[in-house]
Amino acid sequence: MSGKDFWSLRPIERLGIPSLNVSDGPTGLRSTNSDPATVFPVGVALAATWNPGLAHRMGEAIAREAIAYNVDVLLAPTINIQRTPLGGRNFESYSEDPFLAGEIATLFVQGVQSQGVGTSLKHFAANNQEHDRMTGSSNMGERVLREMYLSAFEATIRRASPWSVMSAYNRINGTYASENQFLLEQVLRKEWDYDGVVVSDWGATKSTIGSVNAGLDLEMPGPGRFYAESLKMAVASGEVSPAKIDEHVERILKLIERVGLLDGNPKRQRAAVNTAEHQTVARQVATEAIVLLKNENNALPIGTGNRIAVIGGAAHRPTIQGGGSSQVSPYRIISPLEALRKAWPDREVLYAQGVDHEVRAPVIDYRLLRDENGEEGLTARYYDNQSLDGDPVYTERDWRLLKLGFGKVGPLQGSTAFAVEWSGTLIPESTGAHEFMLSHSSPEADLTIDGVTLIGGEMPIEREKLFMFLTLNARSAGCHMVAGQSYALRMRYRQPADTDFPGFNLLKLSLRTPPPSVQDAIELASTSDVAIVFAAPGTTAETEGEDRKDMSLSKDQVELIESISARCRKTIVVLNSGSPVEMPWADHVDAIVQMWLPGQEGGYAIADILSGKVSPSGKLPVTFPRIYRDTPSFLHYPGGRQVDYGEGLFVGYRYFDKMEIEPLFPFGHGLTYTRFEIRDVSIPAKAALGDTVRLSLNVSNTGMRAGQDTVQVYIEDRATRETRPLRQLKSFEKIFLEAGESTSLSLDLGASAFTHYDIDEGKWLATPGSYLIHVGFSSVDLRQTIEINLYAD
Ligand code: BGC
């Protein structure tokens, strides 16, 4: 009932039960050895496609990569509701709306599990901020909990039966999720009839008896702290019954059986990593996720202008994913700049960085490095001892200098002493002060430049910080460097054997380069036909372990956008972020495009949209507020250890609608390059409570080109006297239509589309009376409204 190490369960050889392996996650398979896998767009981007079928395909692809890395259960998807725009893990989560989150999650889980790989639906529950994430209590009434924070879990569990669920770090109304009888026993097991494994988030188990009796099956990571000796003692003393242990063990065995381990793991032949097909899926998700927020004077797609200025560090070094446990080692990174140059081979596509947009020093750009054979990256040598004695046991070219778990010597994690040395040449692109930062989980690591030790010496290990994914043992040092010169770089990592704590190894080498010239960028933009400005919070800004401090882009970037829009004929801003940013410049630019954190193929995706090869079809899965102060949880966040969810049911658009606050861009919004219309909406005038009713309508593409749009159905409950949101999303469908084409759609609204959770009755109920059905292309762009009356049978 507890792990063997960080990523696997204990085998029981005497019974022929093999070890089961798990790994993250939501944006692709994270190899526990930091080996590469396809980096897909992050969760919020997947949700922005509003295309559950695509979520299925992404799930299948990630599962095949999991199989290739011998991973049986994928620790994904993350479906927590985006409650505050500052949430550090918003990028990983799907939406502010439980219905959309549930639809995407259901198909993602089905996709993964169709390949024989399990999923772990996380984090159960109400894990909506990183601030105080290990101890904070998410406090709210039962109706809010059920309707806003549990319903995406409920929908996914009922329809897709994920083989495991991960209990969250936080408390809910004072009780830790991993020992929460109400959540695990009452709701999950009894009401939802869940038969899978409940695994604790890494380090989220807080007790022995309380957790076992509440329903936590598995403590991770191993070796167990609460589910080891103390569990044996609790059984011996009678505080935990053997029958209870049997229940947990049976579920774990069932999981081992479900993933095929007892049948010799037949799924192995499906293994595949970074195939052309997986790249295509990653690209399609990234493309369909891109949201065209604003497009005036037909600024997009970019027409005939010859000289195109591409501005902003994110064009050349994009943020392809967020930070923390979901981080995948990429096979390749297609930058927007590179992809735009490929898309427009006959045009002048010129680049200027403009400003340094990074909050912290970013991971060193491998394009500045050469290994011992002159190729991009460094030469890595692995030794089976700490003193780098003898011949290396493994040598490779390595360019991914952010590692979440590695060590190619003996058992991957823990018990073996090993060391790695990376060496090669650094050739700076600019002259000036270069600031290096080395972060690592081992007690010893060093960095030398041209034989001089810049960073070195021993450090104590900060184990507790392991789960925060921040800068562990981070040390910085700078030196002056000259553009184009070669500097010998060597970095070493030494890990002693640690049998008490077979933790996992983390390492990151970051480099902040000298500031670029703003003037050059402005000059370039003002002498070009169009300026495409890539703006971003930065590669370290959105991460597990900490929330964002605010919703703004750096002052420098805001000023750069303002200066360029004042001088350039046409300014297009592309946002490379996982969450909304404030856009005080929104009225001054011609077009705004949200490209999210788009995964390794994101460059191709944005080039397809900007060049007009594909009509944009992404829709916002979260409201983009004008300013942070306008957001629903503004008065109730971060809340210290006690986080009162004072906005109640009014999360996201439910708040903006009710308060009549106009957001910058509403939930569900996203423009296309063509035009869609909705006609002939019909529904029966009456239906019995509990019936499924069919909504029919026609959609036409009345524009000049093919494209996709998403028909969205919001229900306004006028019958219930309880407090309730004005309108709630209850159905949607994405459709593709050629120019001039029409189609008819039928959307079924099941009983649950009309219910609210009734505290007194202790169940979901619908009130007899009138409901308005609004059909449109966003939560505020409602084209048709029709009424239905529900009567009690
Ligand atoms: C995260 C989980 C993740 C686990 C294992 C935790 O810190 O919260 O989402 O699955 O680590 O990496």
Indicate whether residue 202 lines ligand 1 (CB < 6 A): yes
Q: Which residue is closest in CA terms to ligand 1's atom 6?
A: 202
35 C-beta neighbours (distance < 10 Å), count: 18
Residue 34 Cα to ligand 1 middle (Å) = 15
pLDDT tens for 488-499 read 999 999 988 876
Angle at 689 between CA 686 and CA 692, to 5 degrees: 80
- What pLDDT score was predicted for residue 732? 98
Q: Which residue range(s) make up the domain with 708?
A: 676-791
Q: Which atom of ligand 1 is nearest to the CA of 127?
A: 8
On whether residue 251 sits in a domain, the answer given is no
What DSSP character marks residue 267? G
Which one has a higher pLDDT value, 145 or 471? Answer: 145
Residue 506 Cα to ligand 1 middle (Å) = 14
On whether residue 756 sits in a domain, the answer given is yes
Structure tokens that stand for 699 in this block:
């959609």
pLDDT tens for 332-372 read 999 999 999 999 999 999 999 999 999 999 999 999 999 99
pLDDT tens for 110-140 read 999 999 999 999 999 999 999 999 999 999 9
Cα dihedral: 558, 560, 562, 568 (round 10): -150
Q: DSSP secondary structure string, 544-556?
A: TTB--S-SPPPHH
Residue 109 Cα to ligand 1 middle (Å) = 18
- What pLDDT score was predicted for residue 382? 94
- What pLDDT score was predicted for residue 717? 98
> Residue 474 class from Cβ within 10 Å (0-12 exposed, 13-18 middle, 19+ buried)?
middle
The confidence band for 679, taking pLDDT boundaries of 50, 70 and 90, is: very high
Indicate whether residue 24 lines ligand 1 (CB < 6 A): yes
What value does the mean pLDDT take over residues 526-542? 97
pLDDT at residue 467 greater than cutoff 80: no
Indicate whether residue 295 lines ligand 1 (CB < 6 A): no
> Residue 413 class from Cβ within 10 Å (0-12 exposed, 13-18 middle, 19+ buried)?
buried
| Dist CA 582 CA 665 (whole Å) | 11
Q: Which atom of ligand 1 is nearest to the CA of 325?
A: 12
Which of 7, 22, 24, 91 to mutate for ligand 1's pocket (most ligand atoms within 8 Å of CB)?
24
- What pLDDT score was predicted for residue 28? 98
Q: At what angle do helices 98-113 and 151-160 cross, to 10 degrees?
A: 30
- The tokens 């983009």 sit on which residue? 624
Choose the final residue of a domain: 481, 514, 547: 514
Indicate whether residue 164 lines ligand 1 (CB < 6 A): no
Choose the final residue of a domain: 514, 534, 567: 514
Which of 202, 321, 328 to mutate for ligand 1's pocket (most ligand atoms within 8 Å of CB)?
202
Angle at 775 between CA 771 and CA 779, to 5 degrees: 95
On whether residue 191 sits in a domain, the answer given is no
> 496 CB contacts (<8 Å, ≥6 apart)?
386, 417, 442, 443
Lowest mean pLDDT among 158-172, 210-224, 502-516, 767-781: 502-516
On whether residue 452 sits in a domain, the answer given is yes
Indicate whether residue 30 lines ligand 1 (CB < 6 A): no
For residue 299, give the nearest of 527, 525, 529, 576 by alpha carbon. Answer: 529
Residue 133 Cα to ligand 1 middle (Å) = 12
Residue 778 Cα to ligand 1 middle (Å) = 33
- What pLDDT score was predicted for residue 204? 97
Residue 25 Cα to ligand 1 middle (Å) = 9
Indicate whether residue 130 lines ligand 1 (CB < 6 A): no
| Dist CA 578 CA 651 (whole Å) | 18
On whether residue 416 sits in a domain, the answer given is yes
The per-residue pLDDT of the chain, averaged, comes to 95
> 425 CB contacts (<8 Å, ≥6 apart)?
369, 370, 486, 487, 488, 489
What value does the mean pLDDT take over residues 641-662? 98
pLDDT at residue 464 greater than cutoff 90: no
Q: How far is CA 101 from CA 106, 153, 381, 748, 793, in A?
A: 8, 9, 44, 18, 32
Which one has a higher pLDDT value, 355 or 412? Answer: 355
- What pLDDT score was predicted for residue 457? 81
Structure tokens that stand for 471 in this block:
């800068």
pLDDT at residue 313 greater than cutoff 90: yes
Q: Which residue is closest in CA terms to ligand 1's atom 7?
A: 467
Decide: 60 and 358 in contact? Cβ < 8 Å. no
pLDDT at residue 625 greater than cutoff 90: yes
Indicate whether residue 676 lines ligand 1 (CB < 6 A): no
On whether residue 498 sits in a domain, the answer given is yes
On whether residue 168 sits in a domain, the answer given is no
Q: DSSP secondary structure string, 614-641?
A: S------SS-B-SSGGGSTTGGG-S-TT
Indicate whether residue 122 lines ligand 1 (CB < 6 A): yes
Residue 200 Cα to ligand 1 middle (Å) = 9
pLDDT at residue 412 greater than cutoff 60: no
Choose the final residue of a domain: 514, 534, 565: 514
Write out the E strands in 45-163. 73-74, 118-124, 137-139
Cα dihedral: 19, 24, 27, 31 (round 10): -70
pTM of the predicted model over 0.85: yes
- What pLDDT score was predicted for residue 503? 65
Indicate whether residue 421 lines ligand 1 (CB < 6 A): no
Secondary structure of 146-205 in HEC code, one letter for each residue:
HHHHHHHHHHHHHHHCCCEEEECCCEECCEEHHHCHHHHHHHHHHHCCCCCEEEECCCCC
Can you give the CATH number for the domain in which 372 is found?
2.60.120.260
Residue 375 Cα to ligand 1 middle (Å) = 34
Q: Is 26 helix (H, G, I), strand (E, B) or coil?
A: coil
Indicate whether residue 709 lines ligand 1 (CB < 6 A): no
- What pLDDT score was predicted for residue 470? 65
Which one has a higher pLDDT value, 304 or 588? Answer: 588
- What pLDDT score was predicted for residue 442? 86
Indicate whether residue 504 lines ligand 1 (CB < 6 A): no
Annotated catalytic residue, options 24, 97, 201, 717: 201
- What pLDDT score was predicted for residue 463? 66
Structural domain count of the chain = 2
| Dist CA 392 CA 38 (whole Å) | 28
> 767 CB contacts (<8 Å, ≥6 apart)?
717, 719, 720, 721, 790
- What pLDDT score was predicted for residue 125? 98
Can you give the CATH number for the domain in which 757 is found?
2.60.40.10
Structure tokens that stand for 687 in this block:
């239906």
Q: Is 432 helix (H, G, I), strand (E, B) or coil?
A: strand
Question: Is-catalytic flag, 556?
Answer: no
What DSSP character marks residue 41? P
For CA atoms 186, 188, 190, 191, give the dihedral sign: positive
| Dist CA 318 CA 333 (whole Å) | 9
On whether residue 749 sits in a domain, the answer given is yes
- What pLDDT score was predicted for residue 407? 83
Indicate whether residue 201 lines ligand 1 (CB < 6 A): yes
Residue 56 Cα to ligand 1 middle (Å) = 22
The confidence band for 219, taking pLDDT boundaries of 50, 70 and 90, is: very high
pLDDT at residue 375 greater than cutoff 80: yes
Which of 75, 167, 327 to mutate for ligand 1's pocket (most ligand atoms within 8 Å of CB)?
75
Indicate whether residue 75 lines ligand 1 (CB < 6 A): yes
